[in-house]
């Protein structure tokens, strides 16, 4: 377990599992690094997996301001990579994490692989989700729903 600090001082949790080329796993909305528990062993057999709790989730700080944004999350990932001493990493982003990865893909931090799961480019190119899906995604995680998130 380790800590990085964003430009605004927000403390960001991260940890490593495995060895090899770095692979940054970027969580979906309102999820912490445990979202990857079912697959981290598979990835860590070939990569140094970097698990992160984005601001507002898990062990990371949960500031009220500035507003949370895709660009802000992308900057937080750069802060984590800096703190970890990683100059380039492959990235796998799921859902909102995929948007964050797309935002940061043009940076010099991008590795040779970018995997996007269940995501869109957002904004004008995105497709609005159904109202009931939005309600589920905005509700805090609970033990009763944990399998639904990782299936």
Give residue 143's pLDDT: 64
Beta strands in 29-135 (DSSP E): 47-53, 89-94, 110-117
Residues in the chain with pLDDT < 50? 148-151
d(CA 128, CA 82): 34
Q: pLDDT tens digits, residue range 94-131?
A: 999 999 999 888 665 777 899 999 998 877 777 777 88
Nearest C-alpha neighbor of 44 from the set 64, 67, 23, 72 = 23
d(CA 100, CA 139): 20
Give residue 124's pLDDT: 74
- All structural domains of the chain: 2-150 (3.40.50.1820)
């Amino acid at each position: 377990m380790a800590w990085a600090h964003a430009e605004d001082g927000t403390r960001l949790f991260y940890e490593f599992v495995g060895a090899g080329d770095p692979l940054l796993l970027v969580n979906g909305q309102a999820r912490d690094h445990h979202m990857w528990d079912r697959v981290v062993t598979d990835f860590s057999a070939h990569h140094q997996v970097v698990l992160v709790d984005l601001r507002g989730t898990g062990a990371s700080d949960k500031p009220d301001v500035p507003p949370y944004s895709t660009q802000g999350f992308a900057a937080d990932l750069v802060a984590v990579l800096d703190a970890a001493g990683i100059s380039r990493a492959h990235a796998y982003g799921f859902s909102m994490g995929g948007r964050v990865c797309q935002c940061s893909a043009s940076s010099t931090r991008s590795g040779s692989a970018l995997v996007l799961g269940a995501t869109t480019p957002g904004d004008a190119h995105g497709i609005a989700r159904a109202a009931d899906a939005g309600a589920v995604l905005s509700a805090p995680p609970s033990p009763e729903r944990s399998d639904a998130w990782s299936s």
